[in-house]
Amino acid sequence: MTRLGIGLRLAVQALAFLLVIVPHMVSLKFGRGRLAARIPVWFHRLFLRLFSVRVTQSGTPPPPGEPALVLANHVSWLDIVALGSLRPLSFVAKSEIEGWPVIGGLAKLQRTVFIERAKRAATAQVNATVGQRLASGDLIVLFAEGTTGDGLHLLPFRSSLVGAARAALAAETGGLARIRLQPLALSYPRRNGLPVTRAERPEVAWYGDMELAPHLGLFATRGPIDVHIAWGPPIAFDAATDRKLATAQAESAVRQALRETRGGTSPARPTRPAPAHEGADVSAPGVAAI
């Protein structure tokens, strides 16, 4: 993709943002937020289509309207766009992102819950916030490794923020009898129609001390990417559930899903455009890496 092509695509994305920002803010402030929940889905889908990213899925996601705490691995900034294109949802993110130019503003519009990891007291506060959101019916994505990885090795899942599931059971309004923990595995198996090699993985995974700008440049110029999203078996979480054990079960499910995806045994289907309130797939042309 040439610089001109990249510039034109970014201009289209920026124009789309200008067109939807006012209705989005009005929906959040004066409405029930239903329109504001769907706008990010359309926005992410446009980005995937413009930059030739194809999303495929396997497994069964939570039914529409069912609250769930999604425990996922984290490979790249592109994870946010791929997941956000599927259905209305929000993320838990480190507080530093809130101050990032452009990205921080977009995260706020998606109702991201920010956490200051340096403060121990912040965990309890975030758990209470996420728990209330779950009790009200939201789908919340937690990148349980706590950081991005190289796409080859799964880092240990952290159980501290899974306490949000228990907070959802005890929420003052709309407390649930049980909450669904949903394992989810993200991988990038192919680029330009070919399997991604180990040498190519730094062009796809964004981790460690990598600079973001050069990484974005590689993403835009190296060709179409496939993102595969594998939904694992749900884990029922109730008042008697051991938080650490449930987290370990989710980690094991994600690890298994990644093995199956790499081995080509996971049934993948391209996502198709669907109403944002459905849990169906969304499409965007392209190819990817894991």
For residue 86, report the phi and psi dihedrals to the nearest 5 degrees.
-80, -45
**Shortest CA distance to 167 belongs to which of 114, 239, 101?**
239
pLDDT the model gives residue 48: 96
Q: Give the largest CA-CA distance in the chain.
A: 57
**Shortest CA distance to 52 belongs to which of 289, 285, 271?**
285
Are 131 and 168 in contact, with CB atoms under 8 Å apart?
yes
For the record, the structure tokens of 20 come out as 């939807």
Residue 211 exposed, middle or buried by CB count within 10 Å (0-12, 13-18, 19+): exposed
pLDDT the model gives residue 277: 35
Q: Which residues pair with 183 in a beta bridge?
A: 71
Residue with tokens 């680029």, as numbered in its chain = 191
pLDDT the model gives residue 287: 29
Helix (H, G, I), strand (E, B) or coil at 173: coil
Q: At what angle do helices 34-50 and 3-30 cross, to 10 degrees?
A: 170
**Whole-angstrom distance, CA of residue 277 vs CA of residue 84:** 12
Q: What is the pTM of this model?
A: 0.84
**Whole-angstrom distance, CA of residue 152 vs CA of residue 202:** 11
Helix (H, G, I), strand (E, B) or coil at 51: coil
Residue with tokens 């050069």, as numbered in its chain = 214
pLDDT the model gives residue 121: 74
**Shortest CA distance to 73 belongs to which of 240, 250, 238?**
250
pLDDT the model gives residue 263: 66
Helix (H, G, I), strand (E, B) or coil at 170: coil
Residue with tokens 């923990």, as numbered in its chain = 181
pLDDT the model gives residue 248: 95
pLDDT in tens, the chain (290 residues): 788 899 999 999 999 999 999 999 999 888 777 888 899 999 999 999 999 999 999 998 998 888 899 999 999 899 999 999 999 999 998 888 888 888 888 898 899 999 887 677 788 888 888 988 998 889 999 999 988 877 778 899 999 889 888 888 887 566 677 889 999 999 999 998 888 887 787 778 887 777 777 778 888 888 899 999 999 999 999 888 999 999 999 999 999 999 888 765 544 544 443 333 333 333 333 322 32
Long-range interactions of 110-118: CB distance < 8 A, separation 24+: 110/40, 110/84, 111/36, 113/140, 115/161, 117/146
**Whole-angstrom distance, CA of residue 55 vs CA of residue 36:** 23
pLDDT the model gives residue 225: 92
Q: Position 114: which residue type? A: F
